[in-house]
Amino acid sequence: MLRMVGALLVIFFCSTTGRAMAQSPPPESAPRNILWIIVEDMSADFHCYGESLIETPHIDQLAERGIRFTQAFTTGPVCSASRSALITGMYQTSIGAHHHRSSRGSEKIHLPAQVKLVPELLQQAGYFTCNQQGLSEPPRPGKTDYNFVWSPSIYQGMDWRERPAGKPFFAQIQLQGGKLREGANWPERAQRVLGSLTDPQRVQLPPYLPDDPVIRSDWAAYLDTVRYTDWEVGQILERLKKEGLLDSTVIFLFTDHGISHIRAKQFLYDAGIHIPLIVAGPGIQTGQVRDDLVEHIDIAAATLALAGVEVPNWMQGRNMLATGYEPRRYVHAARDRCDETVDRIRAVRTARYKYIRNFYPDRPYLQPNAYKDNKRIVQVMRQLYAQGLLDAAQSLIMAEQRPAEELYDLESDPHELHNLVRDRNYLPVLIELRGELAHWISSTGDQGQRPESIYMYDSDMKVYLESVEKRDPERAREIEKNIQWMKARWR
């Protein structure tokens, strides 16, 4: 199925709340290498972002060499939607790539003719483009996870060492991040590399999670994945230094979305969409901390500008490194179908407030979803809720229905626990953000306004079921049951 999008009229609002801006490289600058280090399933839990229980010296040093953005947000809280937006510099909702792991089957999504992927544009500018998974030797192809038809030719290799002599490179290195703790040999691997493991009794859980041994152990394992990621970043930086490339390479370090946890990944609370973002390298002023709002699609625009490529007028990302850059007043995010689970949630955020619109308020937050329901942390939460052992904050995500609208004052309520929609004191804020979200949906051509085609859903589910059936027939049956649950409520 072809999904073609016409010209997009995008109107954004601006403010002047950021700190000093970095300078764009002058046109006469020699081409710089550009490296994206993309980490999976990880929130801004590095030491330089305020996590005090663990140390992340390599990432902290990278931040000191450049800019640390404190208010960066992904436009989608799940990997394929997020990555589809990142690689195009466009909202996934504008290009029809908003449903997780879509376009896998016989029904396909095609990008608008004018939209080109960042590596393609950089190739045209003379860059060698490559994408590698982790630090493996020999190198393996890196994760892509794009929800549309694309050509593998956008990547010319897996490692920058494959480039012709003297040619600048654009490289992506994909790190597993928070997913590492799902591996069967994770504790041993972490112990071997890190020399110690984080003590579960010392972790500080967010207030929406219960003080349970399973939850504590999982959070400690997650913090060890943060430490391990820091070690991997150290290995990458050391390699660049040994090869004489560190001073000629601009590095972007960020994650695709937040931690994989019950109220984070797949949801539009900050735990799911707030990400770390560090930019360092030649032409980037050192020691900066930027507090203005940034969307991760802005990385695409900034990357092109650093390479001397004019940012296309169809691209919705902005070059946040430009001289005279005017910071965003709002950032936006969207959650749609994840695997077999149909949903539609939209959010708009300012520096202080978050507005969330739930388009399926009659459904539970935790709709049936085999991926999440088979996580031990989710199972424990369900058990504790059934036993009446969760407090009010911990029970929020367990509700059988959800409010159509949510409004949070992030200054006083950073964990988004107190919905202010019915508080008349916040009525002006509610009206503003409700209107802004409606404007964004309309002006960006949000394709989630129309339900997903049942043909596309069936096409993707067929591939999904076949892949799961090979390794876990019992889970495949669970997915089939969930699919029928969704179809009975289709709209």
128 close to 157: Cβ distance less than 8 angstroms: yes
17-26, 27-36, 69-78, 92-101: the lowest-pLDDT one: 17-26
162 close to 141: Cβ distance less than 8 angstroms: no
CA gap 111, 3 in Å, rounded = 7
pLDDT at 8: 39
- Which of helix, strand or coil describes residue 407? strand
CA angle 88, 90, 93 (to 5 degrees): 120
Burial class (CB in 10 A: 0-12, 13-18, 19+), 102: buried
- Which of helix, strand or coil describes residue 11? coil
Asked whether residue 143 carries a pLDDT value surpassing 70, the answer given is yes
What is the phi-psi region of residue 177: left when phi exceeds 0, alpha when psi lies from -120 to 50, beta otherwise? Answer: left
Percent of the chain with pLDDT strictly greater than 70: 94
pLDDT mean over 232-261? 98
pLDDT at 1: 42
Q: What letter represents residue 65's amino acid?
A: R
- Which of helix, strand or coil describes residue 73? strand
133 close to 144: Cβ distance less than 8 angstroms: no
pLDDT at 30: 64
84 close to 97: Cβ distance less than 8 angstroms: yes
Alpha helix locations (H) across 324-397? 370-373, 376-386, 392-395
Query: Binning pLDDT at 50, 70 and 90, where does residue 218 land?
Result: very high
Burial class (CB in 10 A: 0-12, 13-18, 19+), 153: exposed
What domains appear along the chain, each with residue ranges and CATH number?
A: 33-331 (3.40.720.10), 335-487 (no CATH)
pLDDT at 29: 53
Q: Give which of 359, 355, 354 is closest to 404, Cα–Cα.
A: 359
pLDDT at 275: 98
CA gap 345, 358 in Å, rounded = 5
pLDDT mean over 355-370? 98
Summarised one tens digit per residue, pLDDT across range 12-31 is 333 333 333 333 443 445 68
In this prediction the pTM is 0.93
pLDDT at 385: 98
405 close to 356: Cβ distance less than 8 angstroms: yes
85 close to 332: Cβ distance less than 8 angstroms: no
> If you average pLDDT over every residue of the chain, what do you get?
94
- CA 172 to mean position of chain CA atoms: 15
- Which of helix, strand or coil describes residue 67? strand
pLDDT at 184: 87
CA gap 97, 131 in Å, rounded = 21
Alpha helix locations (H) across 65-151? 79-88, 118-124
175 close to 134: Cβ distance less than 8 angstroms: yes
Tally of CA atoms within 13 A in the half-sphere of 74 that contains its CB:
40
pLDDT mean over 109-119? 97
pLDDT mean over 94-113? 97
Q: Give which of 400, 378, 380 is closest to 389, Cα–Cα.
A: 380
pLDDT mean over 193-198? 98
pLDDT at 28: 43
Strands (E), 213-363: 249-255, 274-280, 288-290, 294-295, 331-335, 345-349, 353-358
pLDDT at 153: 98
pLDDT at 31: 82
Tally of CA atoms within 13 A in the half-sphere of 115 that contains its CB:
29
pLDDT at 491: 76
The DSSP bridge partners found for residue 289 are 68
